[in-house]
Amino acid sequence: MNEYLNAVLESQKITQNEIKNLNYLAQTIKKQISILEGHPQFFIGGSFGKQTMIRSRYDLDLLVYWPSSAKQYSIKDLYIAVGDILQQYYRPVNSKNVCWEIPFNGGFHIDVVPGRALDSNFNEANLHRNDTGTTLKTSLKAQVDFVANCGRVPIIKLLKLWRVKKQVPFKKSFLLEIMAINGCEGKGYNDYQDQFFTALRYIRDNILTCKIQDPANSNNFLTDDLTPEARIKIRDAAELAISARLWDHIFK
C-alpha cells in the first residue's frame, strides 16, 4: 500500500520552478518591508519551512520580527505598518489573525507575520492578535523545527491533502500536524497506511474535547478557535475516511 501512497505524495510534490518563484516573491516582499524603521529581521516558516507543502494547497510564512529593543512601537503598530506597506503593492491583502495573507495565482499564498522578538536570537516573539486586540507569545521558528524533525512529514502531507479535498475545517495547519504527531506516537515510520489511519482515529476520538497546547507556549491552546460545529465536522470527516472502501473516497 505504500506504493500507492508514495504515488499520491509524488503527485503532490512542488516543482523547483514553483519553489524558485516562492523564494523570489519572499525576497521581493522583504525588500518592500525593509524600508520600515527599526531593522526588522526576516525568517521563513509555514509549510515551506516545515517541508509539508502539497501541490493542492501550499504557502510560505514570512516572519518579520523587530528586535526586542524596538519598544517605541507597539505590536499593533508593527502589524498595521506592515499591512500598509503590503497594500501599496498587492491586491488583495487579507487581514488574518496574526498575519497578512497575500494570495497569488496558482493556488498558493504568502502569510506575512509581523512581531517583536523577545530574545536576541529572535526565537520567540509577541504577535498581534487581530481577533482580540491582544498579544500572542509564540515561537513560529520552534514550530517549524518541531514538525520538520518529527519523522511524520509524509503522513502530515497525506492528512493535509485529505483536509483540502474534503474541506475539513482545521483552521490551523499546525493543529492538524500536532494531532498527527501525537496520534502516531509509538508507531514505526515505514508503514504509511498504518500511520495515516492511526492519526485519523486519534483525531476522530479526541477532536470533540481535546485542548492542544502550542509546544512553544503552554498558555496558547491551538484548539481555542475551533467551534463545536467545526469539531463535529472534523470528527465526522475522520470517521468517513476511516470507513472509506477506496482511497479515491479520501483523496478525491
pLDDT tens per residue across span 182-216: 999 999 999 999 999 999 999 999 999 999 999 88
Q: With a cut of 80, say whether residue 1 has pLDDT above it.
A: no
Domain of residue 123, residue span: 11-145
Query: 18 exposed, middle or buried (CB, 10 Å; 0-12, 13-18, 19+)?
Result: middle
Q: Are residues 169 and 240 in the same domain?
A: yes
Residue 122 in this model has a pLDDT that exceeds 90: yes
Per the listing, cell 515510520 goes with 189
With a cut of 90, say whether residue 27 has pLDDT above it. yes
Work out how many domains the chain is built from and give that number: 2
Query: What pLDDT, on a 0 to 100 scale, did the predictor assign at position 71?
Result: 85
Same domain, yes or no: 28 and 112 = yes
Which of 93, 114, 145 lies at the terminal end of a domain, its last residue? 145
- On whether both 119 and 202 belong to a single domain, the answer is no
Domain co-membership, 232 together with 208 = yes
Q: Looking at the structure, do residues 130 and 155 belong to the same domain, yes or no?
A: no
Residue 46 belongs to a domain with what CATH number?
3.30.460.10
pLDDT at position 72, please?
A: 87
In the prediction, which pLDDT does 112 show? 98
> Once rounded to an integer, what is the mean pLDDT over residues 6-33?
96
- Is 43 a residue whose pLDDT tops 80? yes
> Rounded distance, CA 27 to CA 16, Å?
16
pLDDT exceeds 90 at position 8: yes
Residue 221, domain member (yes or no): yes
Provide the whole-model pTM. 0.92
In this prediction, residues 27-52 reach a mean pLDDT of 94
CB 42 within 8 A of CB 25: no
**What is Dmax (Cα atoms) for the chain?**
59
DSSP lists the bridge partners of residue 101 as 94, 111
Q: If you average pLDDT over residues 13-20, what whole number do you get?
A: 94
20 occurs within a structural domain: yes
Shared domain check, 220 and 101: no
69 CB contacts (<8 Å, ≥6 apart)? none
Q: Provide the H-helix boundaries in the chain.
A: 2-11, 16-33, 46-50, 75-89, 140-148, 153-166, 173-183, 192-206, 228-243, 248-251
Residue 68 domain-assigned (yes or no) = yes
pLDDT at 34: 96
Domain boundary among 81, 114, 145: 145
- The span from the CA of 61 to the CA of 59, in Å, is 7
- Percentage of the chain with pLDDT > 90? 86
Distance CA 252, CA 247 (A): 8
**141-158 pLDDT, tens digit each:** 889 999 999 999 999 999
Domain for residue 236, yes or no?
Answer: yes
The answer on 171 and 74 residing in a single domain is no
Cell output for 106: 496558482
Tell me the pLDDT of the chain averaged across its residues.
95
Distances (CA, A) of 166 to 5, 126, 203, 225, 236: 17, 34, 15, 20, 11
Q: Which pLDDT belongs to residue 140?
A: 86
